[in-house]
Amino acid sequence: MGFALPDRFIWDFWTIEHGGLCWLYALTAPRHHDPDTRHNAARVDLMTSRDLMSWDYRGPVLEPGSTGAWDDLAIWTGSVAACPDGGFAMLYTGRCRAEEGRVQRIGLARSDDLITWRKRSQPVIEADPKLCRLKGARGSTNWRDPWLEWDSGRTLWRAWITAQHPDGPVETSGTIALAESPDLVSWTVRPPVIADRLCEHLEVPQLLAGGHGMLVNTYGHFVPENSSLPRKCMSLLFRDEGSGFEFDRIVESWPSDARYILKQVRPGVGLCWLGEQSNGRFLGEISDPFDFDPLGASRTGERLRG
């Protein structure tokens, strides 16, 4: 069932197709950690596959910086895109020990082969206090999970980022911010692209079908008790309405985090990661592939196991 590492948990992941392979980058942490504390020990490991069933483990490719660096505590979720002039770019989330991980920033790494990555020494995108909340319910700046794409029509880079609206109740402030750049280094933060006030966090966005839809995720405990949404672990679809993305529907939901971060990794095919199961065991592994068309009819429940 799926892919697991014997000595490390696996959770949030992002992929790119290249050379007939799916290159899957995932957050991992030692299994001797309590699953709830794995976030402060996270690095990025690489796996590759042709069929999404059999995986070759390539080892760690991005680790926390040296002591005193802006990302010396842990590396969190990001994404990878091919550069129009060759090579590849990765945006990723970083946290530092000096701030006890309370501030999330976004960094840049570059690669020629998708295996060896060179990190830029300083973050490239930080939250704009005029457009994004700097202090969430737990005193943290929530600014993470960048989804990177090259916009060939406008000849610029765009990044969609998990953030919070600067005003209104924290419990319904979850949104997706937009940042734009001509060169991956100098970024301008734009207003959030989601106005809906649904929950505290909308995590790990994925742009679908040339931008016509956006897939995001949330945990049940991020949903207020009086919300119209169920208090479940969910993947949500937002559709592009021209002036921004509007909530369309729940793609899939579960009572707990047994499954989380559904992503379409190939046309009609999805993956997710498997968390705490009904028996209380936290798996920390990647699922088998399943039929998945989030812009069409969802059939995700049929082949997910765990």
Tens of pLDDT along 5-35? 999 999 999 999 999 999 999 999 999 888 8
- pLDDT band at residue 47 using 50, 70 and 90 as cut-offs: very high
The pTM score is 0.94
Which three-class secondary structure state does DSSP give residue 228? coil
Residue 305, pLDDT above cutoff 80: no
Question: What are the pLDDT digits (tens) for 210-221?
Answer: 778 999 999 999
- The residue with greater pLDDT, 306 or 90, is 90
Residue 159 pLDDT: 98
Residue 32 pLDDT: 86
The number of angstroms, rounded, from the C-alpha of 32 to the middle of its chain's C-alpha atoms is: 24
Residue 94 pLDDT: 98
Residue 163, pLDDT above cutoff 70: yes
The residue written with tokens 């968390």 in the block is: 275
Residue type present at position 161: I
User: Average pLDDT, stretch 169-190?
Assistant: 97
CATH class of this structure's domain 8-302:
mainly beta
With vertex at residue 224, the alpha carbon angle to CA 219 and CA 225, rounded to the nearest 5 degrees, is 115
- pLDDT band at residue 1 using 50, 70 and 90 as cut-offs: low
- The residue with greater pLDDT, 82 or 279, is 82
The residue written with tokens 């016509």 in the block is: 212
Residue 137, pLDDT above cutoff 80: no
User: Average pLDDT, stretch 72-90?
Assistant: 97
Question: What are the pLDDT digits (tens) for 220-268?
Answer: 999 999 898 999 999 999 999 888 999 999 999 988 888 999 999 999 9
- pLDDT band at residue 203 using 50, 70 and 90 as cut-offs: very high
Smallest CA-to-CA distance from 95 within 148, 40, 139 is with 40
Smallest CA-to-CA distance from 204 within 65, 91, 84 is with 91
- pLDDT band at residue 303 using 50, 70 and 90 as cut-offs: very low
Q: How many CA atoms lie within 13 A of 62 on its CB side?
A: 34
- The residue with greater pLDDT, 47 or 298, is 47
- The residue with greater pLDDT, 158 or 277, is 158
User: Average pLDDT, stretch 205-210?
Assistant: 90
> How far is residue 85's CA from residue 82's CA, in Å, rounded to a whole number?
9
The rounded mean pLDDT for the chain is 93
The residue written with tokens 């990661």 in the block is: 273
